[in-house]
Amino acid sequence: ILERNENYHLGPVGLEKIHMNLAGGSSMAMYENDEIDITGVSLFDLERIRDPTDSLHDDLIVANPSYSISYIGFNVKEPPFDDLKFRQALNHAVDKELIAKEVMADLVVPAYGILPPGFPGFRGVEGLKYDPVLAKKLLSESKYADPAMRPRIVVTIPGSGGTPNLDLEVIINMWYENLGVEVEIQQVEWATYLQDLDRQRFQAFGGLGWEADYPDPQDFLDILFHSDSDNNHGAYSNSQVDGILESARVETDQTDRFELYNKVENLIVEDAPWLPLWFAGERHILLKSYVKGYE
């Protein structure tokens, strides 16, 4: 419960309090039962709510994209992800354009770099595009080309027995169809997931995203990929990347800083410690008509 501060320097705000429901259950059902005043709209509900004849259509609001990215992370110290060409092969084997269109209803933007479009310092990174022929070649050149020499591969996601995101299932199917690489999905309860993530215990991990805290490339590239960062969950380490990131921290010329970040983003993407997935597209929410002034 958030209660208003009567001593706020611009005067009391218009609401006495806000109740935030942190319990489980379907937020959409709670919204339809008038138990809550605002909810996000899932991909599965969006099509029906876009229909002008639907009872919830008039409550639908489209918000601007957030500066965020979702991804699958690889632990570069854990076989088979300790092999650069194996990680690159997995990247080249995924047709993100197809998934975005056919699975995600064009509500997301395929990600090939780290910095979201429109973000300060964004230059657009070519990235590791879909190329199944190149993917097969890279796999054949990796030390895990022989399936018999390849360890069991598990992608761990947060959850407790629910259905994994459909895009993850499609990605795993593409890895199998294009490379013959078999991958299992393991679900772990949230608290345990976060604890083990911080301890770099996972071989590969999904169900994650990162959203900007402040408008600077450091908030993505340094925080997520410097060797000493607590948020570097895949144990990624590149001394050249670290050196450029440390130089960018103290560079006072903004143009030169952005040049450094562009260089380091390309190096990181080429090293493939992630399979970048999606930048957020437009966001859809439902808001009760009696709620005024919400932005």
For Cα atoms 81, 87, 88, give the angle at the middle one, nearest 5 degrees: 165
Q: How far does CA 282 lie from the centroid of its chain?
A: 15
Sequential DSSP letters for 59-102: GEEEEPPPSEEEEEEE-TTSTTTT-HHHHHHHHHT--HHHHHHH
Q: Based on C-alpha coordinates, what's the Rg of the chain? A: 21
The rounded distance, in Å, linking the Cα atoms of 279 and 151 is: 31
Cα–Cα nearest to 181, from 192, 193, 173, 190:
173
Q: How far does CA 17 lie from the centroid of its chain?
A: 32
- How much is the pLDDT for 219? 97
**Distance from the first to the final alpha carbon of the chain:** 20
Q: What is the pLDDT of residues 76-112, one digit of tens each?
A: 999 999 999 999 999 999 999 999 999 887 888 999 9
The rounded distance, in Å, linking the Cα atoms of 204 and 147 is: 18
Average pLDDT over the chain, rounded to an integer: 93
Q: How far does CA 279 lie from the centroid of its chain?
A: 7
The rounded distance, in Å, linking the Cα atoms of 189 and 169 is: 19
Query: Looking at the predicted structure, is the pLDDT value of residue 131 above 80?
Result: yes
pTM of the model: 0.81
Query: Looking at the predicted structure, is the pLDDT value of residue 201 above 80?
Result: yes
Cα-based distances in Å from 196 to 100, 108, 148, 157, 199: 30, 28, 28, 11, 5
The rounded distance, in Å, linking the Cα atoms of 85 and 146 is: 14
- How much is the pLDDT for 10? 93
Q: Are 108 and 281 in contact (CB under 8 A)?
A: yes
Residue 72 token pair: 């699958």
The rounded distance, in Å, linking the Cα atoms of 89 and 71 is: 16
Query: Looking at the predicted structure, is the pLDDT value of residue 24 above 70?
Result: no
Query: Looking at the predicted structure, is the pLDDT value of residue 207 above 90?
Result: no
Tokens 């070519």 appear where?
A: 126
Question: How does residue 159 score in pLDDT terms, banded at 50, 70 and 90?
Answer: confident
Pairing of strands 60-63, 274-280: unpaired
Residue 10 token pair: 């611009």
Q: What is the mean pLDDT of residues 243-260?
A: 97
- How much is the pLDDT for 214? 94
The rounded distance, in Å, linking the Cα atoms of 266 and 77 is: 21
Q: What is the pLDDT of residues 215-249, one digit of tens each?
A: 999 999 999 999 999 999 999 999 999 999 999 99
Q: What is the mean pLDDT of residues 67-78?
A: 96
Q: Are 46 and 281 in contact (CB under 8 A)?
A: no
